[in-house]
Chains A and B, each alone.
Chain A
Amino acid sequence: MKRLLFPLILFLLLVSEGVALDLLPSFLTSSDTLIVPHWVLMFLILVCLFYDTSETFFAIVYGVCFGLLVDVVYTGVLGVYMFIYPFSLYIVHLLKRFLQTNLSMTIIIAFITISITEFLLFFIFTIVDIVDVTMTTFLLHRLLPTILANIIFLIPIYLLSVKHLHRWSDEHFGKHRI
């Protein structure tokens, strides 16, 4: 049952990303600023920081699966999120060794991760000719609001889930983790 919990949470986040954008009041969504919810990625960052040990790669494996799911359901261009999510999560995995894991550090890591993700998205979508925007509009109208909105989302789920993630991790890998 425990094994199903992560996929279930991630799946619900994935589904609500799409539904939320449809239901949000239109003054939030209709302006020039594009806020992209990366809720799945946010939760995976927490999994990577607080559940994975330095030798396990659960977050990255989930990143591959749910990245593919985002591609299939929301974009129709396969492989993009499937590549980008695990790539940015691997960087989280590397950063984890050098940084302490508390709320402020998590926010900084999330900041870095979202920036990498968004830049890669911009890069790949520009190459395949799906979007045609300049760097400055991308930075101002998409990157900044997206980072802000996702960090606002991250803080409550951090507070809700960190204790549980620690406990599950202890149960799963034993107390002597590195």
Chain B
Amino acid sequence: MSFFRRKSLFILLIGIIVLVVLVGYSLSNNNNLSTPEKFLSDSVGWVQNFIHTPVTLVVNSVSNIKDIKNTYEENKILREKLAEYKTLVYEVQEIEKENEELRKALEIVESSRDFEPIIANVISRSPERWLEQITINQGSNDGVKKNMAVMTVDGMIGKVKSLSTSTATVQLITGFDQLNRISATVSREDADNIFGLIEGYDKEKEALIFRIIEQSDKDLKEGELVVSSNMGGLFPSGLPIGTIKEVQPDQYGLTKTAYVTPLANMYEINHVIVVDRSLNVDDDTDEKEEE
């Protein structure tokens, strides 16, 4: 019996050593998956896709029936919108043409607003709820790269954390921390833009923490739209993130912190768009940004 106890204690100690080594390895490795990890997540992703598709079909057909009830009302509203839209299209065309000409005059070819979208489906959400990750069914084979911004039609939801060949893991903005900041701005028509960083998520307030940098204007109003800016070098500018919920001075009174309600619903994500920044940024600068 004492031998057995000693043996199990020995195994426990080895277990703890293995735990520490593996946790240290995976935390220091900067989210680059090794080949066996890629293989495993690919094969699990394949099965998830296989299960997910028929189930979503059933779920969708149920919600479709619900939708039919509202069709008439919706149709009315859409018709009105469409009339507005026609004039808008004309305006946009004019502006686009003008913009292009101005760009030519300034000799800027690429705009940081351009992006190439990759459409993907969500196949699973991490059961470890503290981590706030989802898996999508497009991977490095489909052109997804690390740190690309991910959004739904409503707004930005996160960025690509790690990749395998046919799936990718997305870190949601509700799971962001100090190491995963996004530079964001509030754009103004008549005043200077306000710049800051989205630094994390406040679980009690259910809002993102938006720290405004010292130099910029601080008179935010509730309900203003926060969009991503290209200052961080990672994301294209102009992706909507959320609206201002509340503004607070920080403890020293030097900067202000705003709470931002995300536009996208983080719990009902079905289709996402992975946004590629078409402006070429050197990988070196990206890496520095992360550190």
Contacts and interface: CB of A to CB of B under 8 A. Distances in A.
Nearest to B134: A22
B8 A11 contact: no
A88 B21 CA distance: 20
Interface residues of B, number: 47
Given A69-B40, A83-B16, A21 B26 contact: no
Interface string B47-82: 110011001100100000000000000000000000
- The interface centre, meaning the residue of B8, B126, B135 with most chain A CB atoms within 10 A of its CB, is B126
B44 A73 contact: yes
Contact of A17 (B25, B40, B127): B127
Contacts of A90: 8
B130 interface: yes
A83 B55 contact: no
Contact of B125 (A22, A77, A87): A22
Given A21-B124, A22-B122, A34-B129, 13 more contacts: A12-B47, A15-B48, A19-B51, A19-B55, A29-B125, A30-B267, A36-B127, A73-B40, A73-B41, A74-B131, A78-B26, A133-B130, A133-B203
Interface of A: 11-12, 14-19, 21-23, 26, 29-30, 32, 34-38, 69-80, 82-83, 86-87, 90, 121, 124-125, 128, 130-131, 133, 142
Interface of B: 8, 12, 15-16, 18-23, 25-27, 31, 37, 40-41, 44, 47-48, 51-52, 55-56, 59, 122-131, 133-135, 161-162, 169, 203, 265-269
